[in-house]
Amino acid sequence: MTRKYFGTDGIRGRVGEHPITADFMLKLGWAAGIVLTRNTVGKKRVLIGKDTRVSGYMFEAALESGLIAAGVDVDMLGPMPTPAVAYLTRTFRAAAGIVISASHNPVEDNGIKFFAADGYKLPDEVELEIEALMSQPLITNGSQSLGKARRISDATGRYIEFCKGTLPAGFDLEGLKVVLDCAHGATYVAAPWVFKELGAYTLTIGNEPNGFNINDQCGSTHMEGLQQAVIDEKADLGIAFDGDGDRVLFVDGDGEVVDGDELIYIIAQHRKAAGNCNGVAGTLMSNLGLELALADLGIPFQRTKVGDRYVVEALKENNWSLGGEGSGHVLCSDLNSTGDGIVAALQVLLALAESGKTLSELKKGMNKFPQTMINVRLPKKIDVSDNAVINHAVTDAEQELAGRGRVLLRPSGTEPLIRVMVEGEDQKLVDRLVASIAATVEQQLSETQPA
C-alpha cells in the first residue's frame, strides 16, 4: 500500500497547509494513540518533545488533546532533541515517543516523527495502520477513561547524563577549545552543558531561539558562521547541529567543513583499531571515497535507500553498529536507537583523543570524490524512471565516468523534486554532466506536461 501522509521521516510540510494543520494533528494524536498503545498492559503513556519552532506550541496542544481523547497519558518534554525523545521513550517505558520537528527545514515547515517503545522509528505497517484510522470518526472517551497530561521537568538533565555516559569512565575534554552551533534549535540547552561538564572550553552560537530563527543561516545547513567563529576564536574545532539535533557536522581547526561521511570514516577507523567495527551502512548518497577508504581498512560497506530509517534496518540485519549519511546523520546503534548529533560528536572526539591526532589529520585517510547535486522541481510527484531520453542521458554520463564515478536520480521523499547527483574524480566533468542531465530532465518534464 502507498502511504498517504508518511514520508521517509515521518510527516512533514508547510505549516497551515494540509496535513500540517491543527485539526489534522488533533486527529493524528487520536489515531496514533489508539494504534501505538493497543497492546499496552497497564498505563498507556506517550512522550511528546519538540524543537523550537513557534508552531510547535499549537501542534503540541493538538496532539496532546487527541491522545487524551483516546485514553492515553501524555508526558510533555518541551524543547528536546529528537534522539533524546528516542532515549527517554525507552527509559520511561512509554508506548511511544513523538517529536514535533521539521529537522533542518526552515521555520515555515514543521512535522511529526514517531518512535516505538524500543526507541526505533515506526515500521511501515504501523504507519499504514495510523493512516487507515485517520479516515474514521474521532471518538472521544468518557471522563473516566480519558488520559492525563504532565510536564517532565528533568528531561534535559536525564539526556545530558545519558550523553556523557556514552564515553568511557574518566574520559574528559580538558584542554579542548570548541565552538558549538546549536542552530537556535532543540540542542540549545543540552549540548553546551554536555561539553562544559566534560571539561571542554566551550563557546556557543545559535543558542538563542525565538521561535522563528531555527536553522536561519546557522547550524549544519549553514556552516559559514561556525567556520568563521572557529578561525576568529582560534578554536581546536567546531561542531554544528541541525534544528532537532539528529545531525552533526564538524569544522576543523583550519575552518574546513568535515561532513558526515568523513565523520563516519573517523569513527570507523577508531573502532576498527579497537576491534569493534565489523561493518558500516551508508546510503545511495554516501561518497564513493568513503566506500573505498573503508575497503582499505577491511570494513564491509552496504548502501541503502536514502533515509536514516533504512540505515537502521541495514544495521539490524547485519548486526553492525555504525552507519549514516553525508548530511550528518551518524548512527551509533550500540549507543542510541537513532541518529544522535551529540553522541556522534563525542565518538569523534574520543577518536581524536585516543589517536593523538587532529581532526584534519584523521580525515586525510579518506579522499572525497567531487559530488554535485541539482534539484529539479516537479509540478507534482511523478515517476521519471521509465523515460527513455532521461535514461539514455544517464547511460551516456556513466560511460564518460568510465567506472570511476556514479550517477543517481532520486525523488525527494518530502517534496516534488528529482535530485540529480553525479560523482566522480574530476570536478569539471562532474559539474558538466550533472548540469546536462538536469537540463534533460527539465526538458522532458516540460514536453510531457499538458499545455
Question: Which residues are tagged catalytic?
Answer: 103
| Distance in angstroms (rounded) separating the CA atoms of residues 220 and 225 | 10
| Rounded Cα gap, residues 359 and 236, in angstroms | 9
Cβ burial 298-307 (10 Å sphere, 16+ → b, else e): ebebbebebb
User: The C-alpha cell of 198 is what?
Assistant: 566534560
CA distances from residue 448 to 382, 442, 444, 445 in whole angstroms, order as listed: 11, 10, 6, 5
Beta-sheet pairing, 301-304 with 177-181 = unpaired
What the block records as the C-alpha cell of 52 is 523550537
Task: Indicate the pairing of strand 257-258 with strand 248-251.
Answer: antiparallel
DSSP assignment of 372-417 equals EEEEEE-SS----TT-HHHHHHHHHHHHHHTTSEEEEEEE-SSSSE
Q: Which residues contact 424 (CB under 8 A, 6 or more apart)?
A: 369, 370, 401, 404, 405, 406, 430, 433
How far is the CA of 177 from the CAs of 20, 156, 233, 237, 411, in angstroms? 41, 24, 9, 7, 41
Q: Which amino acid is at 376?
A: V
- CA geometry: angle 369, 255, 322, nearest 5 deg: 55
User: CA torsion sign, 400 to 402 to 405 to 409?
Assistant: positive
- Which ranges of 5-74 would DSSP assign to H, the alpha helix? 22-36, 56-69
